[in-house]
């Protein structure tokens, strides 16, 4: 065990070692490291320092002890980036200054819970990393479209990446500036195009020749000019799950790089279109820098070709896709990303756009669920909880891993269990092979659920949508109420 003398607070160095150490400590796994304590930990003020992507926005005052073991530190630090921490008094999970037990008691389970501090700090991380560029960070609304979260980001001056008329409506209702909205998506309807034109959005990210023609027709009919960019597929392997890889020539998204130049030439001839940019989005949950740089280099090659033909661009949109830590991943550093981009853009005078979603909200949220039953079947020990795949689709759809931890002090065990939900599908599995000792009635926290959790939920099996709660310091606010049975039928005709 690595003991740290003095204030055992983390410094923003040795990120990979730090993450592995904390992951090992919180799962009772083995870990050893020969570097000095100063290589891994420093003596920074706990209210302001960061630990890789770990934000100590609620570091317990009582953790300022003369000597802490790595396990003790891990029990006090967030379990995931910007995540909950264990209170030193009773070892129960807290989010900011609120006990998750208290939230479950007040609002019931299952229930989504978000940290306002985590959300805003993640957004600011993007702003800070790329401050040397003329940058617009356009939050990908599809990750989590809750109106209250959109309002928080709009108040910070965020832009927004939308993929539907409904998302446009939400952003405008939240006070978002339409001049900071980019509209992506492969199937923009005439109605959606008209609404976006009338709103005065920044740009349409065009994804096909047919869409380009439709945009021209709608803009002509409305006697308006549509600002456009082409979403270009650079033929880059994002090295992520195939369902969330979008930058290959076989993808339904965007246009192949080989045909993009011809399509730009066609757009230049259409009087009611204005070429303002180029867009690229190669996939999601990407944890290495190389795919982004490979895509950027290919996009910049096309930008130079456009300039040579007299088609200058006002912005380059590099999309989103930067991954987060769900398990023991080592997500890329945004500052390293910015540093690598700097020499590539030293001659470009326009604006740089990004479309992060998961990186901003993913680790800001969790799903609270309660154990209903324990069930032993041949070769499996089941923990049946009240949250299901209708509430959190990612494990069933992508076989995605989410850390699942007890809210109260964990009990030591070697037992492996599968956590399953109540939905009538064999795929309703939230986690397999987890080392947990739980009983009926115990609370569990499913971590890193801020992105593609609530936004992908459904009413399957006639299960009402669950509430969403926002935590800010010691305050909690319901930002989506729990649906009732009456809500399930309110739009149906008898």
Residues marked active site are found at 424
284 phi and psi angles, rounded to 5 deg? -125, 160
Tell me how far apart the alpha carbons of residues 76 and 86 are, in angstroms, rounded to a whole number: 5
Tell me how far apart the alpha carbons of residues 73 and 313 are, in angstroms, rounded to a whole number: 49
Say which residues have a Cβ less than 8 Å from residue 29's Cβ, sequence separation at least 6. Answer: 23
Most distant CA pair in the chain, distance: 72
Can you tell me which residue has the tokens 């999970």? Answer: 93
Strand partners, 279: 231, 317
- The tokens describing 407, both together, are 């809210």
């Amino acid at each position: 065990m690595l003991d740290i003398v003095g204030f055992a607070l983390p410094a923003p160095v040795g990120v990979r070692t730090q993450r592995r150490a904390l992951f090992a400590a919180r799962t009772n796994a083995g870990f050893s490291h020969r570097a000095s304590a100063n290589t891994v930990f420093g003596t920074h003020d706990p209210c302001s320092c960061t630990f890789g992507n770990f934000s100590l926005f609620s570091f317990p005052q009582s953790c300022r002890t003369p000597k802490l073991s790595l396990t003790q530190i891990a029990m006090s630090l967030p379990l995931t980036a910007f995540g909950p921490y264990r209170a030193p008094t009773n070892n129960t999970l807290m989010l900011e200054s609120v006990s998750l037990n208290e939230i479950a008691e007040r609002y019931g389970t299952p229930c989504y819970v978000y940290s306002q501090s985590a959300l805003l700090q993640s957004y600011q991380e993007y702003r800070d990393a790329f401050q040397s560029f003329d940058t617009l960070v356009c939050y990908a609304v599809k990750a989590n479209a809750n109106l209250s979260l959109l309002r928080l980001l709009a108040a910070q001056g965020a832009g927004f990446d939308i993929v539907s008329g409904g998302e446009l409506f939400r952003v405008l209702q939240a006070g978002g500036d339409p001049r900071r909205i980019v509209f992506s998506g492969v199937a923009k309807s005439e109605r959606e195009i008209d609404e976006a034109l009338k709103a005065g959005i920044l740009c349409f990210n065009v994804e096909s020749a047919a869409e380009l023609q439709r945009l021209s027709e709608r803009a002509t009919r409305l006697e308006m000019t549509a600002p456009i960019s082409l979403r270009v597929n650079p033929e880059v392997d994002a090295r992520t799950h195939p369902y969330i890889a979008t930058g290959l020539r076989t993808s339904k998204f965007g246009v192949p790089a080989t045909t993009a130049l011809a399509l730009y030439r066609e757009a230049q001839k259409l009087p009611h279109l204005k070429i303002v940019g180029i867009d690229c989005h190669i996939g999601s949950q990407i944890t290495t820098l190389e795919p982004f740089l490979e895509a950027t280099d290919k996009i910049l090659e096309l930008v130079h070709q456009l300039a040579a033909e007299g088609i200058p661009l006002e912005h380059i949109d590099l999309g989103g896709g930067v991954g987060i830590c769900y398990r023991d991943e080592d997500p890329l550093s945004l500052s390293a990303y910015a540093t690598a981009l700097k020499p590539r853009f030293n001659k470009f005078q326009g604006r740089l756009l990004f479309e992060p979603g998961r990186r901003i909200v993913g680790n800001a949220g969790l799903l609270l669920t309660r154990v209903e039953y324990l069930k032993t079947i041949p070769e499996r020990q089941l923990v049946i909880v009240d949250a299901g795949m209708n509430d959190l689709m990612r494990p069933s759809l992508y076989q995605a891993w989410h850390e699942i931890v007890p809210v109260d002090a964990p009990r030591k065990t070697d037992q492996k269990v599968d956590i399953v939900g109540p939905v009538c599908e064999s795929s309703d599995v939230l986690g397999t092979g987890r080392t947990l000792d739980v009983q009926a009635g115990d609370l569990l926290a499913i971590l890193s659920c801020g992105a593609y959790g609530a936004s992908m939920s459904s009413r399957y099996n006639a299960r009402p949508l669950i509430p969403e709660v926002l935590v800010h310091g010691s305050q909690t606010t319901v930002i989506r109420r729990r649906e009732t049975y009456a809500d399930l039928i309110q739009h149906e005709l008898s």
